[in-house]
Amino acid sequence: MQKPSARLVALPAVLLIGSLLCGCPNPNSYGTPRTVAPGKVSHSVSLESLGFIAPVDEVEVDPNTGEAAPRRRTTSGFLPTLPSYQLRAGLTDMLDIGAHLHNLSSFGVDLKVNPVRGVFDLAVDPGLQYFYVASNDASVHVLYLHAPVMLGVNPADWFSIVVTPGVTYALASGDIVGDDEAAAAADGLLLRGGLGFQFRTSDSFAIHPEITMMKSIDGPGLVYNFGIGFNFGALPSYKDLQEPM
């Protein structure tokens, strides 16, 4: 049986570093369940960061007996990422489409359907995100399939609370040039949950801080994205919540 090449074994490390620095799964929407009006366009620019919490297995040697024993500790990290941009265009009264440039390094698209509006809003927002990482003679293609449900509560016409439970499915494949074992692939399901707050200072500007946590069902540890989105343009209307004069 052939041993796997060292470069193939190193592929997960390339994938991990690429995910952290270039195109991590970015589930934040910086929006509410409401869609943009038909024929209108809105924009969002967000400043973001990435954090992780993960267990690490180590071997600890007793200085008295010299015996080795396994030990697990928790490691964590938090680092800024490049900003993101989003454009949304309204298609119908309850349907709009979004185009994303995540962290200036990966591309995405989503389609939001918003059948319920009022003090309580509901939407489904399936989408995908793709990025490519290359390092020397190794390359990695990653595709994330996002499937969140957006739940919004609107205490006032200027303020919304948004909760986004859902799942993300990751597909990853890698190629190693000039090797008999030239490809590797991986996939996995991530559970996700997000919380955001939108503050609308006018009909055409809003500030939206948001955090989303993701956890693989195959193992411990989690990744979280935190950012602040600045939304402008033809934002969704909340005039139906205004009290009559």
CA distance 168 to 139: 22
- Residue pointed to by tokens 């609107």: 154
Domain for residue 65, yes or no?
no
Domain of residue 155, residue span? 6-58+76-241
Domain for residue 1, yes or no?
no
List, as one string, the DSSP characters of 197-225.
EEEEEETTEEEEEEEEEEEETTSS-EEEE
Domain for residue 217, yes or no?
yes
Q: What's the domain count of the chain?
A: 1
CA distance 141 to 63: 45
Domain for residue 68, yes or no?
no
Q: What is the CATH number of the domain that holds 206?
A: 2.40.128
Domain for residue 147, yes or no?
yes
Please answer whether residues 107 and 131 qualify as being in contact, where contact means their C-beta atoms are separated by less than 8 angstroms. yes
- The reported pTM is 0.80
Tens of each residue's pLDDT in the chain, 245 residues: 333 333 333 334 434 444 444 457 889 999 999 999 999 999 999 999 998 887 776 667 667 776 776 777 778 888 899 999 999 999 999 999 999 999 988 999 999 999 999 999 999 999 999 988 777 767 788 899 999 999 999 999 999 999 999 999 988 887 655 544 444 445 788 899 999 999 999 999 999 999 999 988 877 778 899 999 999 999 999 999 876 64
- Write the CA distances from 242 to 37, 206, 234, integer angstroms: 18, 17, 18
Domain for residue 69, yes or no?
no
DSSP H/E element including 88: strand 84-92
Burial class (CB in 10 A: 0-12, 13-18, 19+), 242: exposed
CA distance 108 to 104: 11
